[in-house]
Amino acid sequence: MFTPKIPPPDTAPTPGTSLVQPLTGLVHPPACTCHHTPSVVPAQAPVPAAPVARPAVQLTPGSLLVVAAGGTAMVLVVGTVLVSMLLATAITAASVAVCAVVLRSLLNRPNNR
């Protein structure tokens, strides 16, 4: 059942031949039948001269204040998430340690109960 099924040597295809015959003589119909003529490509518009050099970002005092407030808020949010993850890890470790101490005391002195 799980052995490979190999054809006998007389029916196996030779490396130079293929079982799939190539398709020849197929003519595809056109995609549409509207018989239109291709339109003339319009001339491209001239490329404008180099733009006036100006700084990429213009920081006004208001936008600088918004960027600083956004950065501060992002640092506070990321810090809160990291501290809560650390606290969850610490609580889990403490509870596992308490369980280990209780199991150890139960297994070491079974006759003292």
Supply the DSSP symbol for 77: H
Specify the pLDDT at position 38: 57
Q: pTM for the complete prediction?
A: 0.41
Angle CA(73)–CA(78)–CA(82) in degrees, nearest 5? 150
Instruction: Give pLDDT, residue 6.
Output: 74
Per-residue pLDDT at 41? 56
Asked if residues 69 and 77 have their Cβ atoms less than 8 Å apart, the reply is no
59 touches 67 (CB < 8 A): yes
Q: Mean pLDDT of residues grouped by 10 in the chain (113 residues)? A: 71 64 69 67 64 71 91 96 97 97 86 60
Burial of 17 (0-12, 13-18, 19+ CB in 10 A): exposed
